[in-house]
Homo-oligomer: A and B are copies of this chain.
Amino acid sequence: MSPRPPAQIGMPAGDIETPALVVDLDLFDANLATLRDAVRGSGLRLRPHGKAHKCPDIARHQMAAGAIGLCCQKVSEAEVFVAAGIPDILVTNEIVDPRKLARLVALAERARIGVCVDGMAHVEGLKAAVAGKGVTVDVLVEIDVGQGRCGMPPGPEMTRLAAVIADTPGLVFAGLQAYHGGAQHLRQPEERRAAIADAAAAVRRATALLDQAGLACRTVTGAGTGSFGLEMASGAYTELQCGSYALMDADYARNRFEGPVFAHALLVHATVISTAVAGQAVLDAGYKALAVDSGRPVPFEIDTDIIGMSDEHTLLRQPKDRALVPGDRVRLIPGHVDPTVNLHDWFVGVRSGVVEALWPIAARGPGL
C-alpha cells in the first residue's frame, strides 16, 4: 500500500532518509505506561483515539497497554483498525452518507462497532443501514459539552433521540459522547478545570434526563490528553479517549500540566540541503511534512529558530555555537501531531539509536 519506507530495520537512526516521522520507542512505551498507570484502579475504560496515529501497529501497542478498544473519526479508519484485529471500535463522529453507513454496519460482523449521532437524520440512516443485516451497532448520542462543534444540548430532544435508538432493531443506545476538544488546549490547569467542570455538569444533566426516561447510560466517553485527569475525577465519565499522549507535540507542550507528563516521542527528522544564503540553513521538510495549523514545529535540542517555511522547505537561523552545513540532520517537534502524522506514510521506530520498527500509517488520508 504505502510507498517505500524511509529506513530499514537495523539501520542507525542517523541514516534514516528524510523527511521522516521518527518515534523514540522508549519514550513511546513510557507514554503508554504512564497513561495506563494513571487510569488503573479508577474503574474507567481507556479507548485511545486512533485519529492521532492512523496506525494499526500503534493501536495494537495501545491494546497491550490496557486499552479496551480504539476510537476513530472516519469509517475508512475503522476499516483499517478492524482489519488489523482491533475488536472494539467507536467512531466518535456523525456519519451521513448511506454508503459509509453500509460499510460501518458491515464491520459489525467482525468487531464491536459504535458510532455517534446528534440528530434524527443519523438515526434514520443507521436504521436503514442495519435493517436485515443481523448485527447490532452501539449508538451514542453526542452532546455538546462546550466544544461547540457537533452534539445536541442536554434536553428533551436528546432524550427522545435516545428513546428512538433504543426502540430501533439492530441499534443499541449505548450512552453519551461528551468530548470537549477546546478544553484540551487551554494552557492553565485552572482554565481546564473550569471547562471540564462545566462539561461534567452537562453530562450529569443529560444522564439525569435519560435516567428519568428509563434509558440507561452505560457509557459516557470523552476526554483528551490535556484534561483526562479531570474527567476521571469528575465521576461523570466511564471512558477516556486520549490520543496525543502516545506521541505528543509542540502545541500540547505549551500546556502547563499537573499530574502525569508525556514525553515528545515523535520527531520529524530533516536534512540541511542549502546554506548558500548567509545566516540561514534550509531543511528538506516543509508544509508537506509538517502541519502548521497549530503553529510551526519547534527545533529539538538545537539553539535555533525557524525563520520561514514553504511547501518543501524550512528555513532555520544558523545556530550561534556551530555552523550547519549541507547534510547535517535537524530534528523538529511537530506543531500538531494528528495532521502531521497524516502527511506521512510511515513511522520509523528507533531504540538506542537503531531503527527497530517500520509502522505503516495505513489509514492515512482525508478519510472516506
Contact = CB atoms under 8 A, between A and B. Distances in A.
B18 A119 contact: no
Interface string A325-347: 11100000000101100111100
A16 B200 CA distance: 39
B119 A274 contact: yes
A284 to B, nearest CB: 8
A192 interface: no
A245 B226 CA distance: 42
Contacts of A96: 271-273, 284, 326-327
Contacts of A118: 274, 276
Contacts of A144: 276-277
Interface stretch (A56-64, A105-113, A204-212, A360-368): A360-368
A347 to B, nearest CB: 13
A37 interface: no
A365 B19 CA distance: 10
A26 interface: no
Contacts of A284: 96
Interface in A44-62: 51
B273 A51 contact: no
A131 interface: no
Interface stretch (A28-36, A259-267, A289-297): A289-297
Most buried by B among A17, A76, A274: A274
Interface in A68-105: 73-74, 76, 93-97, 99-100
Given A17-B100, A97-B17, A151 B343 contact: no
Contacts of A95: 273
Interface residues of A, number: 68
In the complex this chain forms, how many copies of it are found? 2
A73 B311 contact: yes
A312 B51 contact: yes
A1 to B, nearest CB: 7
Given A119-B276, A121-B325, A288 B366 contact: yes
Residue of A51, A313, A366 with highest tally of chain B CB at under 10 A: A366
Interface of A: 1, 3-4, 6, 17-19, 51, 73-74, 76, 93-97, 99-100, 118-119, 121-122, 142, 144, 148-152, 181, 271-277, 280, 282, 284-285, 287-289, 291-293, 308-313, 315, 325-327, 336, 338-339, 342-345, 365-368
25 contacts: A3-B365, A6-B368, A17-B368, A19-B366, A51-B312, A93-B312, A94-B273, A94-B274, A96-B273, A97-B271, A118-B274, A119-B276, A119-B326, A144-B276, A144-B277, A148-B280, A148-B315, A149-B315, A152-B276, A287-B291, A287-B293, A287-B336, A343-B365, A344-B365, A345-B365
The 9 closest A-B pairs by CB, nearest first: A289-B366, A118-B276, A150-B274, A121-B326, A287-B339, A94-B273, A19-B366, A73-B312, A287-B293
